[in-house]
Amino acid sequence: MAGLIILAMGSNPLDFFAGVWTYGVTGSNWQRSLVLMAPLLIVAVGLIVAFRGQLWNLGYNGQYLLGAVVASGFGPYLFDAMPVWLATIVIFLGSLLVGAIWSLVPSILKARYGTNEIITSLVMSFIGIGVANLLIKGPFKDTTTPQPQTAVIGDENLLAYIPGTSIHVGLIIALVLAVVAQFVFSRTSFGLRMDIFGASPKAARHVGINSTWMVILLFALSSGLIAFAGAVDVLGQYSYQRANWNPHYGDAVMPFVFLARLSPIAAIPLVGFYAVLATGGTLAAQQAGLNVDFLLVIVGLILIFMTITEYVGERRRLGQSYLPPGLRRTLARPFQTGAARKES
């Protein structure tokens, strides 16, 4: 389908896909793809934590930027005041804490009053994006440049590279997080409680699971990890942050999170695929005479075909749903209610 769209736009789809491979994999380009994969995978794990608990954390853009501004804004001062390793730990903990705190409003409203977390998390995301921009243009602004950006963190203070490569250790951190999350979900009592809560909050209350604290905890873990991805990205790759910058990582990886059926391990190759597509596709689109936004079209096509597969799997019983039982029932409830009203 993407190839047909490229043809309709007057370009050669073979040139585009060959360019994705060339600029995303061959030579040393694979290292750039793996650098991008680090924050993408951490964001994916953060989303999986919320989705497995039947919670829709859609505030990822604001959470990511707030975590990034913790690193870019405080980093230059902390690295001057303390050893690099200690400053890095403080920045990582600070980003996790900021993300967790930013989730309190939607999580408490959801837990105590049943407020739709899709709306509240999106509102908090818009506010978070605004706060990050205000900080970059205000107290964190680098006074030595007219551009609204933070001071550049020195190369000696950034995350170390994996020996023999230009890939920072943030990728190892991301892979370890995915493995640990998979173990927690599948091999611990907390993972079992989370799955029970995600499948049925009412059943969870009957077996003694505190639904209020579960909502708050899962939202905090999800938001904290996404903010942590922002700090890893700044300390591993960018070294500073400009106003109005937003990579929209959450929008990009969400389809692959569901393709992985909310499994952190299964998400690794899928996120890696998108990292190659994003890295190589940017230059490939330019070479093929396409707008870079065409990559978003490909992600949109993936969402469309996921929707079709979901319909076929559920209505025709020819496959398995991409959604876990709890989320599937939540989405189906409005349609069931509407059908019941028609029958009555």
Which amino acid is located at 232 in the chain?
Answer: V
Whether the CB-CB separation of 230 and 65 falls below 8 Å is answered with: yes
How many whole angstroms separate alpha carbon 201 and alpha carbon 325? Answer: 12
Per-residue confidence band for 204, with pLDDT thresholds at 50, 70 and 90: confident
Query: Which structure tokens are listed for 243?
Result: 């106003």
> Does pLDDT of 19 surpass 50?
yes
pLDDT, tens digit (0-9, with 9 covering 90-100), for 226-254: 999 999 999 999 999 999 999 999 988 98
Confirm or reject CATH 1.10.10 for domain 2-343, answering yes or no.
no
Angle at 23 between CA 17 and CA 27, to 5 degrees: 125
Write down the residue that tokens 């690099």 correspond to.
84
Mean pLDDT within 165-179: 96
Q: What is the pLDDT of residue 318?
A: 47
Whether the CB-CB separation of 212 and 111 falls below 8 Å is answered with: yes
3-state secondary structure 204-228: HHHCCCCHHHHHHHHHHHHHHHHHH
pLDDT, tens digit (0-9, with 9 covering 90-100), for 261-280: 899 999 999 999 999 988 98
Which amino acid is located at 333 in the chain?
Answer: R
Highest mean pLDDT among 282-291, 309-318, 320-329: 282-291
Highest mean pLDDT among 11-20, 68-77, 189-198, 307-316: 68-77
Whether the CB-CB separation of 171 and 178 falls below 8 Å is answered with: no
Highest mean pLDDT among 18-32, 278-292, 306-320: 18-32
Mean pLDDT within 318-326: 54
CB burial of 203-227 (b: ≥16 within 10 Å; e: otherwise) equals ebeeeebeeeebbbbbbbbbbbbbb
Percent of the chain with pLDDT over 70: 89
pLDDT, tens digit (0-9, with 9 covering 90-100), for 99-136: 999 999 999 999 999 899 999 999 999 999 999 999 99
Q: Where are the domains of the chain?
A: 2-343
Predicted structure pTM score = 0.87
DSSP 8-state symbol, 162: P
SS3 of residue 251 by DSSP:
helix
How many whole angstroms separate alpha carbon 104 and alpha carbon 259? Answer: 28
